[in-house]
Amino acid sequence: MMPNRTERPAAPGRGAPGAGAGPRRGPGGAPNSPSGAPAGGGFGKGGRGRGGTAGAFGKGGAGRGKQRKSKRAKRQELEQMSAPSLGGVSVPRGDGNTVVRLRRGSSITDFADKIEANPAALVTVLFHLGEMATATQSLDEDTFQVLGTELGYLIQVVSPEDEERELLSSFDIDFDAELEAEGDEQLEARPPVVTVMGHVDHGKTRLLDAVRNTKVVEGEHGGITQHIGAYQIQHVHEETTRAITFIDTPGHEAFTAMRARGAKVTDIAVLVVAADDGVMPQTVEALNHAQAANVPIVVAVNKMDKEGANPDKVKGQLTEYGLVPEEYGGDTMFVHVSALQGMGIDELLEAVLLTADAALDMRANPNKDARGIAIEANLDKGRGAVATVLVQSGTLHVGDTIVAGTAHGRVRAMFDENGDVVTTAGPSRPVQVLGLSNVPRAGDTFFVTDDERTGRQIAEKREAADRNAALAKRRKRISLEDFDQAVAEGKVDTLNLILKGDVSGAVEALEDSLLKIDVGEGVQLRVIHRGVGAITQNDVNLATVDNAIIIGFNVKPAERVADLAEREGVDMRFYSVIYAAIDDIELALKGMLKPEYEEVQLGTAEVREVFRSSKFGNIAGSIVRSGIIRRNTRARVLRDGKVIGDNLSVDSLKRFKDDATEVRTDFECGIGLGSFNDVKEGDTIETFEMREKPRA
């Protein structure tokens, strides 16, 4: 029996007296309330017992039992149950066939948005896969492929063309508008666009000087063209006047640079060869660049007025490169000219027009908004950004709002090649444009937008995409090791090679041997360029555009070329034995070539003292004797010259109490080798990494 207590009415918001006075067997009160009601006051909170039941109008007690879950909590619980765990983190998985499309330079956050996952969870997953990255860091395609494979997604990094197409479609602009089939009644004849290329000092600019009847060459420094210019001339033949647009480039480098940005500017290439000098290395480079772009070629044999001119020698030399003159049964037109005396200029223009009419469809629709290519651009102190653009379709008007690469603005004024003001520019017409916000790059496409706000938004998104792509790791291009896989995936069917050697005989022998390899059905081997001398930036640019592999035979890259190749992801191979090169190419074509690795020592450290740690095991207090000790690298322990522990990992590295990424020579540090604890004073810790071995 409990002692009697004075009965008091229950205060509002408090439990009834019986709520906490009875035995602890019931939920907050007596096991069986006399009134038959649940324990707890009528208007108060439940008692303090565990699992107390709420009163009729009150809330549950401090230890209330199971409550109703919110919809959000139920959804999160369901997602966690359906998402398998990787490394202790729940991430939604794909079925192995789910395709996720990402832009160049995308981050983990972009990928997480696509699959509706937590970016922090993906960072953790990537860490367990051996990659360190932040949620906003731009990643390359290979890293996304590893992450996607682990989570069951097929990652597709869109090409620059697809990226541009998706960007413009978000503004209701058709990227392929100029490629659509239009009715013949809408198409009108347009002038051909001609690029003049050739060896230095073979008379390219003087030939254009004779064509335009101007003195352009006198304004150049040292007689060498220093900029890109575009000009249009009127050719009169038998009372018929036809226009021809010439692009005067400082060689084929600009031609390839524009191709690298997807700009298909040139219709016909005029290859200038001096009759007294013959085919030179840059002549071959220009020829290879034009052939790689599938552009018809007209050969202008210049300097016919000089003594020692031998046009037959030039024809014979070019025949070896696939340019067979018409008189030899080929389809290439050779024209004898003299730029100094103005001889053969009309015949050259006739040959250009005949080639255009025979091989190309020179028509475009002028009755729509203009689209085209920026040929060159510069910043003028008085006029601001000045861009030379070539209209490819439609008509450009003064007052139009245009976007050129990451530049945008309203066309304030237009000038032709003579500096005269023009108000409209039709297809194949080059003009200088004023009014852009900044300077576009050579090869950037331009088009007209409805308003300036749309143009600014497109330019800003292009700039952001370019910045993200630049922050990403270098693009991985085709290499000998992954060529077979690329063929199996349908990415490529041709192995493009660039051959450079110390002497022409070795290069020719290597090319002949490579072309005799039985490559099998469905795969082709193509040598897009060969030359003598060191590997140049121009070789890397050509390899970048045409996804080629550079083979160096007894030669090495010129200054800064190796850095450019590394940045662009171009595979360069160096050989001193011709059979080694042939074997590697043959194995690559058969899918048997595997990379070779060699051990490279990073640094050594001497153990001065061993510290015991219950958390990390034994820590080797050391001083770095040579090189660099890096965290997460492979290591071995040497004692009296003998290896007592090999293939270990530097799991922890500290400088005093702070974690360190690397420690250099003559600095002290603490090294943790994971579960390996057999470290003593006087031992030597040697760190190393495995690097791919260049083939000799």
**pLDDT surpassing 90 at residue 232:** no
**Strand ranges, E, within 461-521:** 494-501
pLDDT reported for residue 69: 61
Query: How far apart are alpha carbons 219 and 214 in whole angstroms?
Result: 11
**DSSP state, residue 75:** H
Mean pLDDT in residue range 128-145 = 82
Greatest mean pLDDT among 141-145, 358-362, 669-673: 669-673
Would you say 606 and 686 are in contact if contact means Cβ atoms under 8 Å apart? no
**pTM score above 0.75:** no
Higher pLDDT, 218 or 313: 313
Q: Give the DSSP H or E segment for 441.
A: none
In the chain, the domains with their CATH numbers are 1-64 (no CATH), 86-158 (no CATH), 190-364 (3.40.50.300), 371-471 (2.40.30.10), 483-589 (3.40.50.10050), 597-692 (2.40.30.10)
CA distance 635 to 642: 14
pLDDT of residue 406: 87
11-20, 311-320, 438-447, range with the lowest pLDDT: 11-20
Say if residue 330 is exposed, middle or buried (CB neighbours under 10 Å; 0-12, 13-18, 19+): middle
The larger pLDDT score, comparing residue 651 to residue 212, is at: 651
Average pLDDT over residues 75-84: 53
Mean pLDDT of 95-110: 81
Provide the pLDDT for residue 413. 94
Higher pLDDT: 21 or 354? It is 354
Q: Is the pLDDT of residue 594 over 90?
A: no
Given this model, what pLDDT does residue 68 score?
A: 63
Strand partners, 157: 102
Confidence check: pLDDT of 298 > 90: yes
What pLDDT score was predicted for residue 550?
92
**pLDDT confidence of 348, banded at 50, 70, 90?**
very high
| Percentage helix, strand, coil for the chain under 3-state DSSP, each rounded to 5 | 25, 30, 40
263-294 pLDDT, tens per residue? 578 899 999 999 988 888 778 888 888 888 88
Of 52, 55, 49, 47, whose CA–CA distance to 65 is shortest?
Answer: 52
Q: Mean pLDDT over residues 59-79, rounded?
A: 56
Average pLDDT of 382-389?
88
Residue 374: Cβ within 10 Å count: 27
Least confident of 68-77, 187-196, 591-600: 68-77
- 414 pLDDT band, cuts 50/70/90, is very high
Tokens of 569: 């992801």
Spatial CA neighbour of 244 closest among 494, 66, 448, 417 = 417
Query: Per-residue pLDDT averaged across 6-12, rounded?
Result: 46
Which pLDDT does position 100 carry in this prediction? Answer: 86
Given a cut of 80, is residue 80 above it in pLDDT?
no
pLDDT digit string (tens) for 165-185? 777 777 777 655 544 445 567
Q: Tell me the C-alpha distance between 217 and 205, whole Å.
A: 6
In angstroms, how far is the first alpha carbon of the chain from the final one?
A: 101
pLDDT (0 to 100) of residue 195: 87
C-beta atoms surrounding 509 within 10 Å = 14
For residue 230, name the pLDDT band (cuts at 50, 70, 90). Answer: confident
Instruction: Provide the pLDDT confidence category of residue 40 given band limits of 50, 70 and 90.
Output: very low
Given a cut of 60, whether residue 153 has pLDDT beyond it is yes
Report the alpha-carbon distance of residue 297 to residue 286 in Å, rounded: 11
How far is the C-alpha of 402 from the C-alpha of 436, rounded, in Å?
Answer: 8
pLDDT interval class at 18 (50, 70, 90)? very low
| pLDDT the model gives residue 382 | 84
Q: Residue 591's pLDDT is what?
A: 64
Residues 6+ apart with CB under 8 A from 689: 599, 600, 602, 633, 634
pLDDT exceeds 70 at position 436: yes
Continuous H helices in 612-691: none
Q: How many CB atoms lie within 10 A of CB 133?
A: 16
pLDDT of residue 128: 84
CA distance linking residue 441 with residue 374, whole number of Å: 7
Q: Which position has the token pair 């121009």?
A: 538
Judge whether 443 and 258 are in contact, CB under 8 Å: yes
Query: 59-63, 130-134, 639-643 — which is least confidently predicted?
Result: 59-63
Copy the structure tokens of residue 542.
Answer: 């050509």
Return the higher-pLDDT residue of 353 and 160: 353
The arithmetic mean of pLDDT across residues 400-425, rounded, is 91
524-579 pLDDT, tens digit per residue, is 788 888 888 889 888 888 888 888 899 998 888 876 888 888 878 888 988 888 88
Coil/strand/helix, residue 689: strand
Closest to 242 (Cα-Cα) out of 354, 342, 391:
354
Helix (H, G, I), strand (E, B) or coil at 514: helix
**Side chain identity at 558, as an amino acid letter?**
A
148 falls in which pLDDT band (50, 70, 90)?
A: confident
Average pLDDT, the chain: 78
The pLDDT tens digits of the residues spanning 481-526 come to: 666 666 666 666 788 899 988 877 778 778 888 888 876 666 778 8
What integer pLDDT is reported at residue 395 of this predicted model?
Answer: 94
